[in-house]
Amino acid sequence: MTVDQPIIQCQKMQEITTKLDNILTNSKPASSGKPPNIVVYSEFQSSALCLRETLLLVLEKQRYTVYILNANQMLTAPWLNNVCLLVIAGDVSPDITNRLKSYVIEGNGRLLCFGSNLLEVFVPELSNAEVEDEIGTFTYSKWEHVELFHRVLKYRSSIEQDGFNSITNHIPNKISLPNAKNQLSNFDVTTTGQEENSQTPSFILLTSNSGGKTLFSNAHLEIDAANVQLKGNSSGNCKNFKNNIALSKNQTRTDNIPRVCISSDSCKNQSDPSVNHGDTFENHNVLSKNYNEIRIDIFADLLQKHFGLLCCGERSIIEPDYTVGFLFGDPACKRKFLQDLSSRLSDNGVLKLKKISVKFCVGEMDVTPTPSPTLLPVLVDDECSEFSERLFFEELRTRRLGRLGVFCKVMTSSMHVVDTRLVDGFIVVPRSLTRGVGRGENVWLSPDGCALFSLQIHVTSESQFQGRLGFLQHCVTLAAVLCVRALPGCQQLIVNLKWPNDIYADKTMKIGGAIASSIVSSRDAVCNLGVGVNLFNRLPTTCINDMIDALNARNGSRVQHLTLEKFVAILLNQFEQLIDMVEAGRIDEVIELYYKHWLHSGSKVTVQTADGREEQVTIVGIDKCGFLKVVGANNRQFSVHPDGNSFDMMSGLIAPKVH
């Protein structure tokens, strides 16, 4: 019986190397908490997009990644242990509800819900309340008597009476919820804020004994006023124009944009076909002009106060100014590069790529266009004050890697520039990315102080990497670890590898990683590697230079900080040495080096077998393609590969078919 070795299809490298941010079960992050991922879900795309936009507006930039999941992903993707917050808008189906209950009750999850039926699920005492959506007067913290779109819960006093009593009387101080094993978990229940007319609490907070938090917001902070449509008499003939507002429930919903009636329930104009529909709040002055400002400020307050997320003071999603790039390298190399590229340039010297155009500006007479997200001017003959070529080349010992490249202070993504055949070893080094590319559709965080670069490697048909391009990712992350550990005085720093290509500090905090894409032809393959390592930025986790500071404080040593130029150059030195070892037939030695720094030996994982069963196996290493080698039942050893999910490869390992 033999086991097929998985074959890497270069065109889909990103699909088989998706993001994993949480450590294995036997070594979960202790000090860093959950990864900085935030998941948004709503059955209506309009609500999900508005939530994502609001989160990106208020959260500290380059600190969190925000993902929108669909219903199938909510049920199947391994997000449960890989998010610091889950945000829900509107009602959810029973099957998703069950998974959310598991997340809250068993996983001490953090959940924020807006206008959702989950409130009645988690607090059954409210299941019989009548629910309406109104524009009401609202008071919370420093915000007094402001108008917001609000979910109102009411209880009738008796069957014979039309009156209502306050929902507050029906909210318990404590609740107990059963987990999958029918064991009870206790939650404290507190309320804050209030819709003044109905006395409906605006926010209901459930806090578990172990620290999990679920916040139900009856204030519709997820809704932008510009998206709310009014249903009623726009001429203002209704006397109760503003005082009696209820959500129209007689419409077929294709989205979650609220339709709000601005007439009284008894107003005949409500059914008058001559009445204009679809007007906005602004047209009627129903809400104050600063409605969205208030909504966003309260949203940020909840994120900070209840979930400890970092929010920025400046509410803006305006991108920074883009900058020109600088071509660096030996003058002769520059000339040959431009000569070889000339046949692919337009008449005005522009190289047009899929997501960006690169304009090479030669000499003073060549006009430099304004940089933008889609245009990168590269100055060929100018020196850059932001990146020292001298320091870089003083440290660089390679024959081909990094000998020619582009530095740019602010750009969209360095991977966009190498998305074509350039020259072997070509490197793009940015200071900051506005649209960093992660694995699959993931976002690459690039806060200030992060060492970033994209590197192009040409793999010939005779190369030992043919058929195992994915192994280059292991080599480049290993090179990053060896780069740090090779520095004088830094041997005590604990820097580890998490399969397949993440870099961890002290076994708990992710400080870097790599991605890969490739362009395959009949004669060779062009592999583009993107690398990011926290160098100066202590957020979102920690960074190399902070680790050096801590080492100096402990030992009384004086190890110097790493500069961007020195770090990238030494990493390239180490990487080229590893490539040379593989090409010389010494791949087993490289794998042994990888093992010295990885986190997984002897770890238990669950894999899905070819017939759909789940089997617990033990990790014993990696094969020469870079996939995990595991031992299963009857000591059968085989390789497994990830299923392409966006959160945790270890939760989605698939075994190949057995012949």
What pLDDT digit, counting tens, does each position of 416-435 carry?
A: 999 999 999 999 999 988 87
Q: Which range has the top average pLDDT, 231-240, 333-342, 428-437?
A: 333-342
Nearest residue to 491 (alpha-carbon basis) of 543, 395, 561, 559: 559
The percentage of the chain sitting over the pLDDT mark of 70, rounded to a whole number, equals: 77
Burial of 540 (0-12, 13-18, 19+ CB in 10 A): buried
Whether the Cβ atoms of residue 110 and residue 212 lie closer than 8 Å to each other: yes
Whether the Cβ atoms of residue 311 and residue 298 lie closer than 8 Å to each other: no
Q: Tell the CATH topology of 333-342+387-596.
A: BirA Bifunctional Protein; domain 2 (3.30.930)
Q: What is the pLDDT at residue 442?
A: 53
Please tell me the distance from the alpha carbon of residue 544 to that of residue 495, in angstroms, as a whole number. 9
Predicted confidence (pLDDT) per residue in 352-368, tens digit: 999 999 999 998 778 89
Radius of gyration of the chain (CA): 29
Domain ranges (residues) in the chain: 29-159+167-217, 333-342+387-596, 603-656
Q: What is the pLDDT at residue 182?
A: 82
The percentage of the chain sitting over the pLDDT mark of 90, rounded to a whole number, equals: 39
Predicted confidence (pLDDT) per residue in 22-36, tens digit: 322 233 333 334 568
Would you state the structure tokens that stand for residue 313, as one six-digit string? 């003071």
Amino acid 394 reads E
CA distances from 210 to 26, 32, 106, 109, 207 (A): 20, 17, 10, 10, 8
Nearest residue to 272 (alpha-carbon basis) of 311, 231, 242: 231
* Architecture per CATH, 29-159+167-217: 3-Layer(aba) Sandwich (3.40)
Burial of 209 (0-12, 13-18, 19+ CB in 10 A): exposed
> Mean pLDDT, to the nearest integer, of 566-586?
97
Please tell me the distance from the alpha carbon of residue 164 to that of residue 303, in angstroms, as a whole number. 32
Please tell me the distance from the alpha carbon of residue 160 to that of residue 110, in angstroms, as a whole number. 41
